[in-house]
Structure 1
Amino acid sequence: MQATTLSFANLHNHGELFANILRARRESFIVRNNWKLPESMGMEFDQYDTPASRWLAVHDVDGRVLAGVRLTPTTAQCGVYSYMIRDAQNGLLSSIPDDLLFGAAPVDSGTWEVTRGFIVHDLPAAQRQRVRIRLVNQMLRTARTEGIGRMIALLPSNWGRWAGRCHLTMEPAGRNMNMGGIDYQAVWIGFASQMH
């Protein structure tokens, strides 16, 4: 099992891995969750898949993606869009309530957003925790490389059940919300204490 952080600067070094991440996202979000999202050539993508973002994947040696997330700096800007949570708060995304945060969405070079997190559905239960921890460790490595002190994410509200097992410092950033039959909550993920 391997973990890789992709950027537009290193995509060419990793063959089909980026396409495989987008294929796994399609399977997770469009096929399994029945979300209405953009797709093409069997891949899911959106307006936040820009050169500002990073894509983290846990994968096997053949390039099969087992889990992944996208990281986007809160300073990102592409046309009218910045990052998902801030755009939702500013009323640009009708699928997410604009009152999802307790305060204003940050715009800070040390804060990045985590989106499109998934673990493939057919992964045996005995491997899920190992894969989750591997993904979290890759997030920490990327945080060190990019100078990220904290992240903000919109997660299923059961985040507290697994955060401790993954050694993540997390706290609520907003209220619980039901979206599409699933309870979600915005959370802060702190990395500052692990940066040395």
Structure 2
Amino acid sequence: MHATTLSFGNMHIHGDLLVKLLKARRQTFIVERKWDLPEAEGMEYDQYDTPASRWIAIHEDGEVLAGIRLTPTTARCGMYSYMIRDAQKGMLEDIPDNLLNFEAPVDQKIWESSRVFVSRDIPADKRFQVQVQLMQELIKAARDQGAEQLLGMVPSLWPRWIRRLGLRAEPAGPVMEIEGMKVQVAMMDLNDAVH
């Protein structure tokens, strides 16, 4: 099993891994969860998949098992910045604007994690290993970009899940139901992360 952090600057080195990641995202978010998201050529994408972002893929034998997108909170692309901030500004109709307990930060040391998924096809005995590798690569990739904190919308069961991985995070907003899932924004201090 491998963990790879992709960017516009290095994607050519990794063949079609970014394409496979976006296809795996489509499978998770559009096919399985039935979210109404943009897609083309079997890939899911949105306005936050820009050269400012990074994509983490956990992959094995040509198959993407899990992934995350990282975006700096300083990102700008036309009228968009990053998902949580744009939702707070009322720009995203499917996400409530009261998702954060404070004003969405714009800080080069804070990055947003989004589009987190783990393939449902992974056997139960391998799932924890995939989750650990995904979180380890997330922490490494974020630190490599100079991040000290991560802000992300996660399933509301995150406190139990993240403790199991030996990490800590704090709630940053209320528990909400979006697209049939209970979710909450959480903030992780990477200085507390031991991985």
TM-score between both structures, scaled by the size of structure 1: 0.97
Matches for 1:50-89 after TM superposition, within 5 Å: 50-60=50-60, 62-89=61-88
Q: Which amino acid aligns with 1:181?
A: G
Question: Would you say how many aligned residue pairs link Structure 1 and Structure 2?
Answer: 195
Alignment match, 2:48? 48
Q: Which amino acid aligns with 2:102?
A: G
Q: Could you list the runs of 5+ residues in structure 1 that have no partner in the other structure? A: none
Q: Does 1:19 align with 2:14?
A: no
Q: CA deviation at 1:147?
A: 1.1
Q: CA deviation at 1:11?
A: 0.3
Q: Could you list the runs of 5+ residues in structure 2 that have no partner in the other structure? A: none
SS in 2 for 1:30: helix
Runs of 4+ displaced beyond 4 Å: none
Assess if the C-alpha contact under 8 Å between 1:144 and 1:195 holds in 2: no
TM-score between both structures, scaled by the size of structure 2: 0.97
Question: Residues of 1 paired with 2:138 and 2:44: CA distance?
Answer: 21
Question: Residues of 1 paired with 2:156 and 2:107: CA distance?
Answer: 25
Question: Residues of 2 paired with 1:148 and 1:176: CA distance?
Answer: 25
SS in 2 for 1:192: coil
Question: Residues of 2 paired with 1:142 and 1:41: CA distance?
Answer: 28
Matches for 1:123-162 after TM superposition, within 5 Å: 123-162=122-161
Aligned alpha-carbon RMSD (Å): 1.2
Matches for 1:30-45 after TM superposition, within 5 Å: 30-45=30-45
Q: CA deviation at 1:143?
A: 2.2
Identity of aligned residues (%): 52
